[in-house]
Amino acid sequence: MAGSRLAAAVTLLAGVALAVPLTGSSLFEKRDNGICAAVSDCIPFTIDVTWGQINPTGAGPRAAILSNGTSPGPPLKMKLGECVDFLVINHLDVETGVHFHGIQQSKTPWADGVPGLSQYAIQAGDSYMYRWTAEEVGSYFYHSHYKGQLMDGLFGAIFIMPSDSEPTPFKAIDASATDKLTAAYAKSEPIFISDWSKYTFDEFYKLEEAANVDIDCSDAILLNNIGSQYCLSRDQIANLTSPQITALNITLTNKGCIPPDAVVQGNYTRNLAALPADAFNTCTKSSSGKNYTHVVDPADGWASMSLISAAGFEVLKATIDNHKLYVYEYNGRYVTPQVVDQVIVGNGDRVSFFVKLNQTVGDYPIRVSNNGQNQIISGFGALSYKGSKGPAPGAVAAMTFAGASIGKITTFSALKASPFVAPAEFSKTADKTFRFTLQKLPKAGNAYRWTLSGNAAYDMSNDDGMPLLYKNPASIPESDIVKKTNYGDWVDIIMHSPGPVAQPHPIHKHSNKFFMIGQGAGNFSWSNVAEAYAANSSLFNFNNPPYLDGYTTIAALGDVWTVFRYKVEIPGAWFIHCHMQTHLSGGMAVALLDGVDKWPTVPTDAGKTCQGQAASNSSWTPSADLTASNTTASGSATTSQGTPKTYTGAASAVQVSTLTLLAIFVAALSL
Ligand SMILES: *[C@@H]1O[C@H](CO)[C@@H](O)[C@H](O)[C@H]1NC(C)=O
Ligand SMILES: *[C@@H]1O[C@H](CO)[C@@H](O)[C@H](O)[C@H]1NC(C)=O
Ligand SMILES: *[C@@H]1O[C@H](CO)[C@@H](O)[C@H](O)[C@H]1NC(C)=O
Ligand SMILES: *[C@@H]1O[C@H](CO)[C@@H](O)[C@H](O)[C@H]1NC(C)=O
Ligand SMILES: *[C@@H]1O[C@H](CO)[C@@H](O)[C@H](O)[C@H]1NC(C)=O
Ligand SMILES: *[C@@H]1O[C@H](CO)[C@@H](O)[C@H](O)[C@H]1NC(C)=O
Ligand SMILES: *[C@@H]1O[C@H](CO)[C@@H](O)[C@H](O)[C@H]1NC(C)=O
Ligand SMILES: *[C@@H]1O[C@H](CO)[C@@H](O)[C@H](O)[C@H]1NC(C)=O
Ligand SMILES: *[C@@H]1O[C@H](CO)[C@@H](O)[C@H](O)[C@H]1NC(C)=O
Ligand SMILES: *[C@@H]1O[C@H](CO)[C@@H](O)[C@H](O)[C@H]1NC(C)=O
Ligand SMILES: [Cu+2]
């Protein structure tokens, strides 16, 4: 069986020089008239993507992109070494593409889900089969990577569970409770945290263009798309305004936001009349908001949660009243545990931790607040002990609605997030250096346009073009937004965020992870890391530095610099970009063409292979909180809206199951 599949794969690939070695189970089976010639041994996972209406704050329904009728979409759980056949059926009236955030795709660079880079956008009515292997343990997520669609709700959790022999850091947390910790880990609760706007991404972006404003004011902070819009009195706003904002003589709006024309927003010619009053000023209190509730059983001793930020632009932070957070994993890697009161969760970040369930039975607020100065805003959930009759009387908050610490609290340090097991290889020297300047696009005069490299903006219209992966890299000129590397190179990316107001940027790198080796104040005044290291070695961490897929550059009133180092191990076209969707859509991205000397050849049936039927070995069932009606805010998701232009799914979805085919036809007819 395995032999014949391999033979089929070899036949299919014959004649193409595939530089990336293919190992393990066969990847591509021949398909004939929609019937699979061979059955893949991957786990099937399908999301049917539609427009629907959701009403997370109770303020009224808004169009959102749902996966199988919900947002967040269904969670995927796999075990290390397993592969998935992740089928995306696009029932939208627009293009899409689904990225697997943090998944390195070492053998499948065409399954990274970035339209214009690794695949053609999935057209309305079409589908794409993403096959990839779980190569690293951790908490990840899938999300749309087509323009700013993440802000419209297309996201869902991915957990990759360890093999039985994988070392975990749980013993370091409580050596006498490893069984309980392992059990808690096995049912870890994914909690998406995000900012919410009543405007869809398209509407939001059009407002930015019309007003020439980088909109950084949201309506609500949601947990698993449940929340409430809270409005403060002017006295409360004045009370909660930070000393820094007061020092800048800024009066926050009724939504708690820095006004779009405040001096820190930059000197731009704006058309503020194009902004609706509720973009920055008018706050409308939810009449029927809710709190996401995660029920835990104190008999378990411990519970685990993974916060996943799907936020469009707010960098968030979280605390749980009366509970220390025992962080064991950060951005795709077990870390040396840190026991903290608070975690900061940048856009695209995942932070996993345990809490000890030793408090009096009751509901303990999970507080999620904006970490930036741009807006005073919080959202809430509840950690509810089984048998709870309501708010725990002794609950003590660790931060205010504005996110200011109450008393002396400790915060998780991403900078000190050393891998629990250091990666096999780290180089103290680099072969290649890129210097980027993280800033608004110079000279263009657009407040909402950004650059990662320093000069050029990556244009969203590239998402509709021919994928760079499909081209001969020699035909692609290197530029401000396209950088090339050779296989095996160690690459430094030096990022300078100029003052006077250096905003934080949660930078996410696709494919293999990077080492976060140093950051400091000022411009990076050396020509490379070797020179800087010679001048002052304590600026760098070469001793088990954090190894991750995302890191948020620090915010400052002044210049700051950050250096990532990575090894070119996986040839392909990969994004490195700011994960704030407003900055990304404004152009804050660079395409890394890694290993141009070992460029992969995309199989002709990429995205169109047959779906497998294997069962995952991971034994995880989502908690009751994560059932569709609970995750779909207010249970009000109804699919509608999407009027696919032409539906060709039956021809391309390549399902063996006639039931599925039938469902697709029925859907096509009824729409
Ligand atoms: C999503 O819906 C499709 C079709 O209704 C179904 O086959 C599939 O199993 C669902 N996916 C998940 C993850 O439940
Ligand atoms: C899943 O379980 C089967 C049967 O026990 C085993 O053969 C296979 O190797 C396992 N796969 C993984 C990825 O652990
Ligand atoms: C302002 O804060 C103080 C304590 O910091 C509190 O006593 C007072 O009630 C607050 N006022 C308002 C309007 O929130
Ligand atoms: C603060 O701003 C107000 C109006 O917004 C202005 O009248 C006042 O002069 C400013 N004060 C300082 C110290 O800049
Ligand atoms: C803002 O820019 C304009 C030209 O675009 C310039 O004339 C003006 O001096 C600038 N204002 C400040 C405060 O920098
Ligand atoms: C949500 O929880 C917070 C903190 O416990 C509370 O202040 C708020 O009233 C709750 N909101 C709703 C809508 O229940
Ligand atoms: C509960 O556990 C925490 C550590 O997470 C500890 O500091 C605290 O003293 C314990 N409280 C009780 C009531 O046992
Ligand atoms: C930062 O330093 C580099 C190298 O010394 C220099 O080329 C660049 O112009 C500086 N940038 C700014 C904004 O000063
Ligand atoms: C070297 O860098 C460290 C860390 O930023 C700093 O504390 C120290 O003052 C620097 N030493 C010199 C000689 O500049
Ligand atoms: C929703 O979650 C609650 C617990 O928070 C649970 O009691 C209820 O059964 C869930 N609803 C559904 C439809 O599963
Ligand atoms: Cu950014």
Q: What percent of the chain has pLDDT over 70?
A: 86
- Residue 627 Cα: closest atom of ligand 10: 14
State the pLDDT at residue 166.
86
Q: Would you say the CB of residue 79 lies under 6 angstroms from ligand 2?
A: yes
Q: How confident is the model at residue 397 (pLDDT cuts 50, 70, 90)?
A: very high
Give the residue, by CA position, lying nearest to ligand 3 atom 3: 239
- Residue 523 Cα: closest atom of ligand 8: 1
Give the residue, by CA position, lying nearest to ligand 9 atom 14: 536
Give the residue, by CA position, lying nearest to ligand 6 atom 2: 380
Calpha distance 558→544 (Å, rounded): 29
Assess contact for 315 and 504: CB atoms under 8 A: yes
Ligand nearest to the CA of 388: 10
Q: Residues 253-260: what's their mean pLDDT?
A: 98
Q: Is the pLDDT score of 156 beyond 80? A: yes
Q: State pLDDT tens for residues 195-249.
A: 999 999 999 999 999 999 999 999 999 999 999 999 999 999 999 999 999 999 9
Ligand nearest to the CA of 404: 3
Q: Would you say the CB of residue 74 lies under 6 angstroms from ligand 1?
A: yes
Which of 40-44, 190-194, 264-268, 651-655 is least confident? Answer: 651-655
State the pLDDT at residue 619.
67
Name all residues whose Cβ lies below 6 A of ligand 8.
Answer: 496, 498, 523, 525
Q: State pLDDT tens for residues 374-390.
A: 999 999 999 999 999 99
> What does the angle CA 240 – CA 241 – CA 247 come to, to the nearest 5 degrees?
150
Name all residues whose Cβ lies below 6 A of ligand 10.
Answer: 293, 295, 624-625, 627, 629-630
Q: How confident is the model at residue 466 (pLDDT cuts 50, 70, 90)?
A: very high
State the pLDDT at residue 665.
28
Q: State pLDDT tens for residues 569-603.
A: 999 999 999 999 999 999 999 999 999 999 999 99
Q: Ligand 5 centroid to 268 CA: how many Å?
A: 8
- Cβ atoms < 10 Å from Cβ of 249: 8
Instruction: Enumerate the β-bridge partners of residue 575.
Output: 591
Q: Ligand 7 centroid to 323 CA: how many Å?
A: 8
Q: Would you say the CB of residue 82 lies under 6 angstroms from ligand 2?
A: yes
CA-closest candidate to residue 345, choices 258, 411, 416, 418 = 411
What residues contact 274, with CB distance under 8 A and at least 6 apart? 207, 210, 211
Query: What's this model's pTM, rounded to 2 decimal places?
Result: 0.89
CA 566 to chain centre: 20
What residues contact 309, with CB distance under 8 A and at least 6 apart? 192, 193, 194, 315, 316, 345, 346, 347, 348, 349, 350, 506
Q: Would you say the CB of residue 611 lies under 6 angstroms from ligand 1?
A: no
With the CA atoms of 577, 62, 640 and 625 taken in that order, what torsion angle do they form, in degrees rounded to the nearest 10?
A: 80
Q: State pLDDT tens for residues 283-339.
A: 999 888 899 999 999 999 999 999 999 999 999 999 999 999 999 999 999 999 999
List, as own/partner pairs, every contact residues 33-39 make where C-beta atoms lie below 8 angstroms and the sequence separation is at least 24, other chains included: 34/651, 34/654, 34/655, 35/656, 36/610, 36/654, 36/656, 37/8, 37/610, 38/4, 38/5, 38/8, 38/610, 39/610, 39/612, 39/613
Residue type, 425: E
- Cβ atoms < 10 Å from Cβ of 2: 10
Taking each continuous run of H as one helix and of E as one strand, the counts in the chain are 11, 34
Q: Ligand 7 centroid to 322 CA: how many Å?
A: 9
Pocket probe mutation, ligand 1, options 42, 43, 48, max atoms within 8 Å of Cβ: 48
Assess contact for 64 and 51: CB atoms under 8 A: yes
Q: Is the pLDDT score of 545 beyond 60? A: yes
State the pLDDT at residue 646.
26
Does 428 or 609 have the greater pLDDT score?
Answer: 428
Query: What tokens appear for 432 in the block?
Result: 């290649």
Q: State pLDDT tens for residues 407-443.
A: 999 999 999 999 999 999 999 999 999 999 999 999 8
CA-closest candidate to residue 505, choices 589, 417, 411 = 589
Which of 7-16, 120-129, 273-282, 416-425 is least confident? Answer: 7-16
Q: How confident is the model at residue 615 (pLDDT cuts 50, 70, 90)?
A: confident
Q: Ligand 2 centroid to 81 CA: how many Å?
A: 9
Q: Which residues hold their Cβ within 5 A of ligand 11, which is an ion? A: 505, 578, 580, 583
Q: Would you say the CB of residue 608 lies under 6 angstroms from ligand 7?
A: no
Query: What tokens appear for 410 in the block?
Result: 């400790």
